[in-house]
Amino acid sequence: MPVEGLIRIDENRLEVPPTYKPGMRTNGIIFVDEELEKELEKESIEQVANVATLPGIVGSSLAMPDIHTGYGFAIGGVAAFDLKEGVISPGGVGYDINCGVRLLRSNLTKEEVLPKIKELVNTLYNEIPTGVGSKGKIKLDSSSEKELLKKGARWAVENGYGESEDLERIESGGCIEGADPSIISDKAYERGRAQQGTLGSGNHFLEVQYVDEIYDERAATELGLFKGQITVMIHTGSRGFGHQVCTDFLEIMERAARKYGIELPDKELACAPFNSPEAQDYLSAMRAAANYAWANRQCLMHWTKECFIKVFNISPKELGLTLIYDVAHNIAKIEEHVVNGKRLKLVVHRKGATRAFPPGHPELPEMYRKIGQPVIIPGDMGRYSYLLLGTNKAMQETFGSTCHGAGRLLSRHQAIKKAKGRSISREMEDRGIIVRSAGRETLAEEMSEAYKDVSNVVEVVHRAGISRKVARLHPIGVIKG
Catalytic machinery residues:
404
Could you tell me which residues are beta bridge partners of residue 200?
A: 130
How far, in Å, CA of 206 to CA of 233, rounded? 6
β-pair type (28-31, 57-68): parallel
Backbone angles phi, psi at 167, to 5 degrees: -65, -30
DSSP string, 153-210: HHHHHHTTSS-GGGGGGBGGGG--TT--GGGS-HHHHHHHHTTTT--BSTT-EEEEEE
| Closest residue by Cα to residue 39 from 480, 370, 450 | 450
How far, in Å, CA of 336 to CA of 380, rounded? 33
DSSP string, 139-156: ---HHHHHHHHHHTHHHH
Contact partners, residue 66, CB within 8 Å, separation at least 6: 75, 76, 352, 403, 404, 405, 406, 407, 452, 454, 457
| Closest residue by Cα to residue 265 from 24, 434, 32 | 24
Round to the nearest angstrom and report the end-to-end CA distance of the chain: 38
Number of Cβ within a 10 Å radius of residue 447: 21
| Closest residue by Cα to residue 192 from 203, 181, 177, 208 | 181
How far, in Å, CA of 234 to CA of 425, rounded? 20
Backbone angles phi, psi at 7, to 5 degrees: -120, 125
Contact partners, residue 152, CB within 8 Å, separation at least 6: 174, 175, 176, 290, 291, 292, 294, 295
Backbone angles phi, psi at 470, to 5 degrees: -115, -50
Number of Cβ within a 10 Å radius of residue 69: 17
* Dihedral in degrees, nearest 10, Cα atoms 87, 72, 397, 287: 60
